């Protein structure tokens, strides 16, 4: 058996690992898009480190674009096998990959329009037609059961508690008549006690594990803050200051968590009677998929649905799909809550909302997620005096509030807790992926301290015989 690291090796996006069984069957674990801007990775999304037509099957841990975003490119380049995932991962992939195809086409269009003379034309990485073909290949399976994907190999998904449908993956691979090899892939490790989703469920005892390490060197996650803190922010922003509260949020996951918190506050009679708007077409589609998957909810949310069958909707909540509605919101002057994407404020409708609200001290910006330093969100986290938006210099007069407890990634303690059930005698090796090298070194030390036998930090393209 052999494993080759074809993405997310010593970096945080572009997850892709190729497992080759003794009988030659090739399984690709995830097929993510690289989303950074490092020079060495410039061509990563264009070229696979293997032939797509030689891959027999893909197993997908979850629908985030850095794990699923190159699937249509794989199909376009000749992959002809099945893609295994949970039901919710398939459904979220449908809207997220379609959205990604639109972004690819739009980016290529603007690049070509503004391209300097003599520079070659850029082609979109894939088109909506490739996404459609990709979705035909999915074979879905519920959590906690073995599914045969080859004469010698079965796969099981367990809940990762990271986003809707997210999973860690265990392979049971026939070694001889009496023994099996267990190969685990953590996907992205979620966090316990988060709204809507169940806690992460540990993997069975494995011989080898590929483990993510995004936040493995940090203990930054404060305990999840409850609705009460959100209510305080709303009270101050919309009732005391009579202003607009803008909440930039990723369309999938964060938006539904915030909406569900508001829903609970409303059911409890605590939410002030002000309008709340979800202004993002992708978030609206994603919310529909959440509604279709109570099979992924924790017990508390399922119980809540007995009294409120729609956990993502209440009287004063309005979903805004059309662009005109969104534009009208820009000039809306009464106290209200606006939830809109993108989470890092680098693009999307939220950028327009910020543009119009930023100079009025009555308004408030609530930041609920990580923002890369070079994005508008990253700059606003520093509370600067001015920022440039759409090329225009704006005074930053609105109040900026941060709630950092919403992270969907486990921190160091949560990651070690997740692996702690593993039998140290059985587990031969842990491969660390999906993290920056400096952080991975810290995680490696920590795991060795915890008596794990061998920890490897593979480089991009590196292979190991198992
Ligand atoms: Zn993820």
pLDDT tens for residues 122-133?
899 999 999 999
Token code pair at residue 374: 């070079």
Tell how far the Cα of 5 is from the centroid of ligand 1, in angstroms: 18
For residue 408, report the distance from its CA to the centre of ligand 1, in Å: 8
pTM, two decimals, is: 0.94
Q: What is the mean pLDDT of the chain?
A: 94
Q: How confident is the model at residue 240 (pLDDT cuts 50, 70, 90)?
A: very high
CA of 253 to the centre of ligand 1 (A): 10
Distance 163 CA to ligand 1 centre (A): 7
Report how far ligand 1's centroid is from the alpha carbon of 30 (Å): 11
Instruction: Return d(Cα 355, Cα 390) in angstroms, integer.
Output: 8
pLDDT in tens, 153-202: 999 999 999 999 999 999 999 998 899 999 999 999 998 888 899 999 99
For residue 225, pLDDT over 70 is answered with no
| Distance from the alpha carbon of residue 79 to the mean position of ligand 1, in angstroms | 23
For the stretch 331-359, pLDDT in tens is: 899 999 999 999 999 889 999 999 999 99
Q: How far is the CA of 61 from the centre of ligand 1 (A)?
A: 9
Write down the pLDDT at residue 220.
62
Residue 154: in which H helix or E strand, if any? Answer: strand 153-159
């Amino acid at each position: 058996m052999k494993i080759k690291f074809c993405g997310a090796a010593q970096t945080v996006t572009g997850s892709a690992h190729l497992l080759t069984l003794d009988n030659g069957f090739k399984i690709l674990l995830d097929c993510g898009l690289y989303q950074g801007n490092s020079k060495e990775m410039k061509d990563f999304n264009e070229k696979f480190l293997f032939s797509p037509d030689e891959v027999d099957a893909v197993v997908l841990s979850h629908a985030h674009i850095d794990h699923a975003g190159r699937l249509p490119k794989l199909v376009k380049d000749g992959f002809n096998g099945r893609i295994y995932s949970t039901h919710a991962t398939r459904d979220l992939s449908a809207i997220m990959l379609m959205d990604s195809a639109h972004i690819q086409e739009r980016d290529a269009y603007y690049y070509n329009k503004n391209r300097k003379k003599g520079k070659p034309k850029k082609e979109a990485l894939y088109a909506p037609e490739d996404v459609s073909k990709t979705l035909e290949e999915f074979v879905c399976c519920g959590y906690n059961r073995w599914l045969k994907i080859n004469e010698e190999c079965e796969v099981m998904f367990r809940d990762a508690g990271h986003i809707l449908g997210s999973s860690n993956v265990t392979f049971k691979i026939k070694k001889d008549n009496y023994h099996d090899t267990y190969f685990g892939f953590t996907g992205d490790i979620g966090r316990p006690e988060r709204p809507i989703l169940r806690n992460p469920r540990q993997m069975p005892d494995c011989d080898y594990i590929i483990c993510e390490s995004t936040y493995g060197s940090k203990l930054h996650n404060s305990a999840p803050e409850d609705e009460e803190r959100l209510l305080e922010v709303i009270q101050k922003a919309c009732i005391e200051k009579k202003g607009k509260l803008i909440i930039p949020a990723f369309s999938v996951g964060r938006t539904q968590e915030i909406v569900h918190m508001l829903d609970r506050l409303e059911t409890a009679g605590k939410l002030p009677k002000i309008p709340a708007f979800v202004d993002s077409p992708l978030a609206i589609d994603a919310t529909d998929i959440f509604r279709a998957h109570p099979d992924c909810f924790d017990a508390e949310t399922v119980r809540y649905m007995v009294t409120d069958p729609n956990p993502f909707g209440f009287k004063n909540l309005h979903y805004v799909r059309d662009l005109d509605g969104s534009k009208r919101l820009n000039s809306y002057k009464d106290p209200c809550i606006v939830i809109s994407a993108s989470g890092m404020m680098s693009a999307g409708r939220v950028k327009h909302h910020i543009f119009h609200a930023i100079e009025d001290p009555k308004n408030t910006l609530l930041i609920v997620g990580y923002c890369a330093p070079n994005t508008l969100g990253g700059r606003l986290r520093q509370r600067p005096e001015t920022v440039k938006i759409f090329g225009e210099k704006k005074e930053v007069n609105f109040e900026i509030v941060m709630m950092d407890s919403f992270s969907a990634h486990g921190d160091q303690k949560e990651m070690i807790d997740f692996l702690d059930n593993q039998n140290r005698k059985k587990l031969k090796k842990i491969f660390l992926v999906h993290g920056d090298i400096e952080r991975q070194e810290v995680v490696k030390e920590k795991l060795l301290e915890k008596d794990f036998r061998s920890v490897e930090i593979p480089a991009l393209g590196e292979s190991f015989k198992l």
